[in-house]
Chain A
């Protein structure tokens, strides 16, 4: 509006003279006003026309040019004004007589092809038409001739321009406004002239916007009918202001009712004009449905965002880059107690960040510049109430479309509960750790005292104790023995010397109860129950809190573990459960220790008995040997000295005595050997097996030769560590056995070895009579014979000696055999 009136004023100045002349043509005020209004309307039509237009006087002097014309002619409007058409254009064609002045002065409209220099060296051809306005002015329209366009095209363009102008000129309200009319008809804006609140004139776009076919449908109707309820008041208010000459917004939005009742949002501008001699409103409307929709969506998403932010379970603080608070959400207000108003515009240090957290908070923010997003920063916040709360902070740096940081978003989550459960978890972990430490510590000791002490050390970490007692239970005697005790002595926990000797159980009521029921006892304040006194002259106050749990292993009650405190209500069910787990571990460890000690005692006992037995064997065999030597000696003397006194029968009997003596002597020698093998005095040495075996074979060479035996010894044999003399006995016995128990014509004996990292396995294989599997164990028993003496001679101690030697070296011996095909004796000698 303002631009339009400014243009009008400018134009008024420019063509003062002409206007004066034009005014002279006017007849009466009414006519003048009509023109004034038409000029006003014309103003915008002329200005906005896409057709390049010029206004000249009848002499071809340019008075006005619109923007399209200025653009086409490539000259500023101020330059165009006052120039004559002759100065701008060159007329073409042979028919040209004189300049534009001559042509325009004729009453006939001019229609000619002209050319002008658009740029230096660029000539553009246009079609120029002039129309005579009744004021004596000429309206010049220009249409560009496209050099590359077809003639038809040019023709169409020219014709359409002509038609447009014709329409314009046919307007009833004066030639001067006909240009405007054309624009009015074709404007993309809805245009309507309101007079007395009624629609006087509307353009087709206006009709279309409101859903009507033609102006006739709406002409004469009240504008109210087309205004939405909400827009009526506003509209009439503006209307009044306009008529009173007051300032109104250049553009405003109203909602109009379309044909059929639907509504349309439009942007409107008002202009006060004269129409048919009366003031009227020129109303321009444009459809803003799309924009409205977009705005609605924007509003929707904004409120959605707000809702989202407020429904967050975390507190949210939005700040600018300096940390100045721009917004907070509902949860922030609830959580901290600070209202949105209090938080708004707050700067660092925030009232909700306590002094002790400030430094870490600042360095947190510092990091943000590098990382964009920071997560899970645990910090303490201060509520308005002064209460401290743990929060986990996540901070995000928001950037705009250009990538520049603009906002900081802090999301704070209340982790007080998490903190609490974390503490609970760490308590549980500590308990597990204690149980684990206990079980691993307990595997390292087999001493009851150490077990008790270790158990106490672990219990003390997780259960508040003033005293700690382990009583061990002897089921057979129904007694307990105090293994370990801790109690307060002068306020300090100290180890108390356990009372000497066992305590009969009936004196100790609660301990007896725990043992008999195998159920734990939890006492939370002083009771009259009897307990085993910690020390005879105890002057301590009574135990207030007490837990007693049985130590049970494999259904056997090993003892009772108890802890106590002199304060009431110290223990929970949780403590009791924990103590039971500890007691269970301690119970197993104590039982193991007891078993171990029992085993040690037994093995010492067995060793002593073995030694006794060996000594006995030695003494007996030695003492038996003495008279045997006498018997044998005398028998030999008699046989030698008094041979002639006996007959054949007597000599045979005498020989039997001698034979029996030597058999008995072998028995005794074997017994002596057996008893000596277990003695640990024998020294072990590295043994060259090849040498040792060849020595043994040398010893046995007569038997081997006699039996025509084939002996194969593995070429390479490993070195082993053993008692040399004993190993000789082993090979001698095994080889002798192989020779003895053979029914084949040629006995075949094979000696070899297999080496593993742990031991060397040696074997002696024969092709003899073999051994039935049922006898595999029996043959190693002393004096066991599988055959009659007259079948195979021998005393039956050889394999017993072999087995004892192998076992005294820490090895094993076994047999593989097929009856009738042979047997293999394997034995191992451990490495090292």
Chain B
């Protein structure tokens, strides 16, 4: 597949590997060539981001973060990402199977850029892509 214009480096943090697989497929089947880096636990993801910073490597354009994660919970990770100068600029989209209002509210409070229901993405990824597009054009 040809890399499409606007391909993104996406950091995907979800302990459900089925979900990471399906999510990546959902993106891919639209013809996009985004680069996914996946972690199934929050602390490793954080470690990875810090390594990138130390080695002066390019950071991801976007982070997809699940809320329920082992070791370092998604909410805690979100708080840390938004606290660190080096990562706070990276948009974090919460991707969760929970549609609980308090989860959504909490995520936005902690600095999430968006909150996406997993089942919604599975049905139709287009709205998410549009959101990302909108976000990027606004950010740049």
Contacts and interface: CB of A to CB of B under 8 A. Distances in A.
A633 B29 contact: no
A826 to B, nearest CB: 29
B114 interface: no
23 contacts: A622-B97, A625-B97, A626-B19, A626-B97, A629-B18, A629-B19, A629-B22, A629-B118, A629-B122, A632-B119, A632-B122, A633-B25, A633-B122, A634-B18, A636-B122, A637-B22, A637-B25, A640-B29, A641-B25, A665-B119, A672-B99, A672-B100, A676-B100
Q: Size class of A's contact patch?
A: 10 to 19
Nearest to B18: A630
A669 B97 CA distance: 11
B99 A630 contact: no
Contacts of B122: 629, 632-633, 636
A630 B119 CA distance: 9
Contacts of A640: 29
Interface string B83-116: 0000000000000011111100000000000000
B126 to A, nearest CB: 14
A400 interface: no
A123 interface: no
A575 B4 CA distance: 102
B98 A622 contact: yes
A633 B28 CA distance: 13
A633 B101 CA distance: 24
Interface string A622-652: 1001110110111011001100000000000
B75 to A, nearest CB: 15
B16 A630 contact: yes
A385 to B, nearest CB: 94
Most interface-central of A626, A632, A634, A676 (chain B CB within 10 A): A626
Contacts of B23: 633
Contact of A633 (B22, B99, B102): B22
The 6 closest A-B pairs by CB, nearest first: A633-B22, A630-B18, A625-B97, A633-B122, A629-B118, A637-B25
Nearest to A624: B97
A394 to B, nearest CB: 87
Contacts of B99: 669, 672
A627 B17 CA distance: 11
Given A634-B22, A637-B22, A629 B119 contact: yes
Nearest to B102: A681
A304 to B, nearest CB: 105
B8 to A, nearest CB: 21
A665 B123 CA distance: 12
B69 to A, nearest CB: 13
B102 A630 contact: no
Interface string B43-54: 000000000000
Q: Which applies to chain B's interface (DSSP): helix, strand, loop or mixed?
A: helix
Nearest to A673: B99
A681 B100 CA distance: 12
A681 B19 CA distance: 31
A165 B124 CA distance: 166
Given A636-B122, A681-B102, A630 B19 contact: yes
A248 to B, nearest CB: 137
Contacts of A618: 100
A669 B122 CA distance: 15
Interface string B1-42: 000000000000000101101110110010000000000000
Interface string A580-622: 0000000000000000000000000000000000000010001
Contact of B119 (A625, A634, A637, A641): A625
A633 B18 contact: yes
Given A672-B99, A676-B100, A626 B16 contact: yes
Contacts of B102: 681
Nearest to B26: A633
Contacts of B119: 625, 629, 632, 665
Contacts of A681: 102
A618 B97 CA distance: 12
Nearest to A625: B97
A415 B19 CA distance: 103
Contacts of A632: 119, 122
Most interface-central of A618, A637, A681 (chain B CB within 10 A): A637
Contacts of A625: 97, 119
Nearest to A682: B101
A634 B98 CA distance: 20
A618 B101 CA distance: 13
A785 B16 CA distance: 35
Contacts of A629: 18-19, 22, 97, 118-119, 122
Given A629-B22, A669-B99, 7 more contacts: A622-B97, A625-B97, A626-B16, A629-B118, A630-B16, A637-B25, A665-B119
Contacts of A637: 22, 25
Contacts of B22: 629-630, 633-634, 636-637
Nearest to A627: B18
A729 to B, nearest CB: 13
Nearest to A626: B97
Contacts of B97: 622, 625-626, 629
Contacts of B25: 633, 637, 641
Contacts of A634: 18, 22
Interface string A679-690: 001000000000
Contacts of A669: 99
A632 B100 CA distance: 21
A625 B16 CA distance: 12
A789 B22 CA distance: 30
A681 to B, nearest CB: 7
A633 B19 contact: yes
Contacts of A676: 100-101
Contacts of B29: 640
Contacts of A633: 18-19, 21-23, 25-26, 122
Nearest to B122: A633
Interface in A321-373: none
B31 to A, nearest CB: 13
Contacts of A622: 97-98
Nearest to A637: B25
Contacts of A672: 99-100
A482 to B, nearest CB: 49
A127 to B, nearest CB: 147
Nearest to B118: A629
A650 to B, nearest CB: 20
Most interface-central of A625, A629, A672, A676 (chain B CB within 10 A): A629
Contacts of A665: 119
Interface string B113-133: 000001100100000000000
B55 to A, nearest CB: 34
B68 to A, nearest CB: 9
B20 to A, nearest CB: 10
Contacts of B16: 626, 630
A676 B97 CA distance: 16
Nearest to A618: B100
B102 to A, nearest CB: 7
Contacts of B19: 626, 629-630, 633
A236 B8 CA distance: 170
A629 B26 CA distance: 13
A627 B122 CA distance: 13
A683 to B, nearest CB: 11
A682 B18 CA distance: 34
A669 B98 CA distance: 10
B60 to A, nearest CB: 23
A633 B29 CA distance: 13
Interface string A189-230: 000000000000000000000000000000000000000000
Nearest to A636: B122
Contacts of B18: 627, 629-630, 633-634
A428 B97 CA distance: 76
Nearest to B29: A640
A672 B101 CA distance: 11
A672 B26 CA distance: 26
